[in-house]
Structure 1
Amino acid sequence: MSGPVFPLEITSLTKEFSTKRALDNFSLTLQQGEIAALLGPNGAGKTTLIGCLLGFLSGDAGSIRLFGQDIAHLTPEVRNRVGFVPQTMTGFTWFKVGELLSYLADYRPATTPQDNRWLDWAGLNPAARIKSLSGGERQRLAIVLALRFRPDLIVLDEPVASLDPQARHDFMRLLPDYAHQHGATVLVSSHIISDLEAICDRFVMMRHGKLVLDISKNNLHQQVRYLSALPPEGWGLTLLAPAEDGGFWVEGWHAALDQAALQEGVVATQPDVETLFLALSR
């Protein structure tokens, strides 16, 4: 009997460049409909991971499966279910916007459903030459190209870095609406953590190519705490990271420990994602 099929399943992925191990036994599985944030400082391995899961790079060990298929042997049907937004769009500069949209649409089956809210959001002139577009306009075009044909798995690498505040705000409102409407799975990497905290229901944190924390938004608020002092071993907590002020970040918190902390004189504070991310990035 076969097991469940996930939109994304990464198992023990390792990737080395010369003397650097960019990914170290990294595993991650995303369920249908999840919106997951991929977090980590520069050099953590996020870009390498995205390159591997899109087939731009090959892992040295481990495996990646998209909708049950090995990344090296994807059928056209599965490839059409994946949308990717890079940090910066390059190429196709000789096309006009409308020409490129039509050209790439011809590679899709005529019956492929479309979601034209992205065209409305982008507000691009179809007659404009791509080489004449600003950085923000090119990024809006990249988003349209990735999401127009209703992908089931969306991978975004710093998608809003070059957008103006209004376009960024509207995109971060439309993306979860789209995902919830179509049951799409989203993996988004961004340094604008306030955006991710607003839309993501899961947080995946990397450091030095390794997974250091994989937790849902609900569990983060319920089970992760900043403590003003090292907790007793009997509390059964997992130490995540020390804090700069002498405190500690821990996982495994539960309501029964509130009273224990009060009795021990230990201050327990619920974290926000950005503060926890900074602690885990050191």
Structure 2
Amino acid sequence: MSEPVLPLEITHLVKEFSTKRALNDFNLTLAQGEIAALLGPNGAGKTTLIGCLLGFLSADAGQIRLFGEDVNSLTPQVRNRIGFVPQTLTGFTWFRVGELLTYLAGYRPADTPQDDRWLEWAALDPTARIKSLSGGERQRLAIVLALRFRPDLIVLDEPVASLDPQARHDFMRLLPEYAHQHGATVLISSHIISDLENICDRFVIMRRGQIVLDVSEAVLQGQVRHLSALPRPEWGVHVLAPAEDGGVWVSGWQPGLDDAALGQGVAVQQPDVETLFLALSR
């Protein structure tokens, strides 16, 4: 039996700007149905990575494959399976909302299935000109354009930063519903980590163009811990980063170690994604 084709496969990716290496031997694969958070401080390389995997930027080395095809030579069939939500929608300002939706739909086969939940969620006036829309309305339109035609791979770069609290809440509820219903793969970059904790089953944390932690939600909760002091060598855990309170973050924790830590006077706490992210971003 042949191996399943992965929605996203990045191997040994390198991207340089002048004297700065924005991506340094970067590797990442996503399986069908995964919802992965892409986290990192400003300058970590997240936007550069997204630009490369969507073909907006050319990598200096390495390879990106989307559904088995090289990103530099995607067929129309694969392109139609990808949805991208930028941080800010630019261009098309002379169109009315309905006109733009009709115009872009013309680039897809007539029988392409649609998901009208996004139009209902966005609640945009089809007669409004795009140049008259608020920032939040433009962002809702960007989400509709990306998700209306049921993509199998969704890439989102700070998609909710300009949404009002209700629209953001509803979107973060609809997105995982959509992904689970259609088996779609999602890669979402956002600084609102509380949103990502609620919907993501994998967390990829970047720093200086590389991944410093790539962990599933299950492993994060089961094997990552905050310790009030350094672990004993015989515990066999790996120190991820120092904590701001003088303790440390570790991976590889096992349930049987709780008693050992208690015997050494070491307090053990469950992970908090935002606090762990801040520790790994220093």
Specify the TM-score bucket, using the shorter chain as the normaliser.
over 0.9
| Stretch of structure 1 that moved more, 240-249 or 161-170 | 240-249
Cα RMSD after superposing both structures = 0.8
Aligned to 2:124: 124
Aligned to 1:47: 47
Distance 1:160 1:246 in 2: 34
Aligned to 1:96: 96
Aligned to 2:177: 177
- The alignment partner of 2:16 has SS state of strand
Report the Cα offset of residue 275 of structure 1. Answer: 0.7
Distance 1:58 1:5 in 2: 23
1:187 corresponds to 2:197: no
Report the Cα offset of residue 249 of structure 1. Answer: 0.5
Distance 1:121 1:2 in 2: 40
Distance 2:104 2:126 in 1: 14
Aligned to 2:248: 248
Distance 2:144 2:275 in 1: 33
1:203-253 C-alpha deviation (Å, 9 max, x unpaired): 000000010000011110110001111111111111110112221100000
Distance 1:136 1:244 in 2: 35
Identity among equivalent positions (%) equals: 80
| Stretch of structure 1 that moved more, 132-141 or 226-235 | 226-235
Write out aligned runs for 1:138-217 (5 A): 138-217=138-217
Distance 2:275 2:264 in 1: 24
- The alignment partner of 2:29 has SS state of strand
Report the Cα offset of residue 2 of structure 1. Answer: 5.2
TM-score scaled to structure 2, two decimals?
0.99
Aligned to 1:133: 133
Write out aligned runs for 1:265-280 (5 A): 265-280=265-280
Distance 1:4 1:237 in 2: 33
TM-score scaled to structure 1, two decimals?
0.99
Distance 1:31 1:171 in 2: 23
Aligned to 1:105: 105
1:152-192 C-alpha deviation (Å, 9 max, x unpaired): 00000000000000000000000000000000000000000
Aligned to 2:69: 69
Aligned to 1:27: 27
Report the Cα offset of residue 58 of structure 1. Answer: 1.0
Distance 1:55 1:276 in 2: 31
Report the Cα offset of residue 3 of structure 1. Answer: 3.5
Distance 2:176 2:55 in 1: 25
Report the Cα offset of residue 276 of structure 1. Answer: 0.5
Distance 1:216 1:230 in 2: 24
| Stretch of structure 1 that moved more, 243-252 or 164-173 | 243-252
Report the Cα offset of residue 75 of structure 1. Answer: 0.3
Distance 1:14 1:235 in 2: 36
1:109-159 C-alpha deviation (Å, 9 max, x unpaired): 001000011000000000000000000000000000000000000000000
Distance 1:244 1:272 in 2: 13
Aligned to 2:232: 232
- The alignment partner of 2:118 has SS state of helix
